[in-house]
Amino acid sequence: MSDQRPDPPKIAFVASPAPEAQAAFASLAQRYGSVEPDAADVIVTLGGDGLMLQTLHRFISTGKPIYGMNRGSVGFLMNEYIEAGLVERIQAAERSVIHPLAMTTVDVHGERHDALAINDVALLRQTSQIAKLRILVDGQLRMDELAGDGVLVATPAGSTAYNLSANGPILPLNTNLLAITPISPFRPRRWRGALLPDRVAVRIEVIEPTRRPVSATADNDEVREVASVDIAMDRSRSMVLLHDPGHSLDERILREQFGE
């Protein structure tokens, strides 16, 4: 029987501009070596959740697993920063597979814009005028008028971000659901949103889009003065997040629900 061990993974380090992240990059690259992302087996991000989101977008078409270590402020998606044993941690890590939302908008000038969202797609009023929105699910009208600051559609991975701040539900990763959550609703005032199967297509139409302009944002990609927004999960794209055992996204989401 051979006792030959597998070769250690080739690592590409990606760091935020923060001094703590840059110092970590220099130390880890010297200790473990660093290759260009195209040649890497795994991407290690050094920063906070913002950098993780940027990295996921950057490598969304590669399928390369991403292991984050917290050198930022929030770090919900990140692992604890420890320099020692990084290769062993990566090899023992639990995998979470997530898919993005595909957003297609048509603005008031008839121009189409496409973008991807890992966390959420959010529609927000652009001026002091309240937004009025019509919501359809798989082509069927479900709400003829939502009046308020806006609405968002969140993935399970994004349910603890803007969605949670808007009093939306936290979704475990294995639920195969999307959360649609109103933002400061005025009418219907008591509507708190809905849970939808992640296979559905959501269409949001802006009522009076010229008089009541609305922007649509897929994570950080914003389109202004939209007339309609179509949202559906893109299962042709998969992203793999790596977390230390006992600290997977599912575990973190459970802890968040119990206030831990």
Full set of structural domains in the chain with CATH: 11-98+237-257 (3.40.50.10330), 101-233 (2.60.200.30)
β-pairing, 112-117 vs 120-125, is unpaired
Tell me the two tokens of residue 160: 């603890």
Which residues participate in the annotated binding site? 49-50, 119-120, 149, 157, 160-165
Which residues participate in the annotated binding site for NAD(+)? 49-50, 119-120, 149, 157, 160-165
**Strand positions, DSSP E, 7-65:** 11-15, 42-47
Q: Are 48 and 16 a contacting pair, CB within 8 Å?
A: yes
Element of type H or E holding 134: strand 131-137
Active site residue 49: yes
Residue 247 binned pLDDT confidence (cut-offs 50, 70, 90): confident
Q: Can you give the pTM of this predicted structure?
A: 0.87
Q: Which of 13, 235, 208, 226 is nearest to 102 (CA)?
A: 235
For residue 254, CA distances in Å to 50, 73, 251 come to: 22, 21, 5
Q: Select which of 38, 49, 138, 234 is catalytic.
A: 49
For residue 41, CA distances in Å to 20, 49, 62, 115, 225 come to: 25, 21, 11, 26, 41
> What does the pLDDT average to over 173-199?
93
CA distance 88 to 51: 23
% the chain with pLDDT above 90? 79
DSSP for 60-99?
TTT---EEEEE-SS--TT-B----TTHHHHHHHPEEEEE-
pLDDT at 228: 98
CA distance 125 to 156: 24
Over residues 81-102, the pLDDT tens digits come to 999 999 999 999 999 889 999 9
Element of type H or E holding 231: strand 226-233
pLDDT at 1: 47
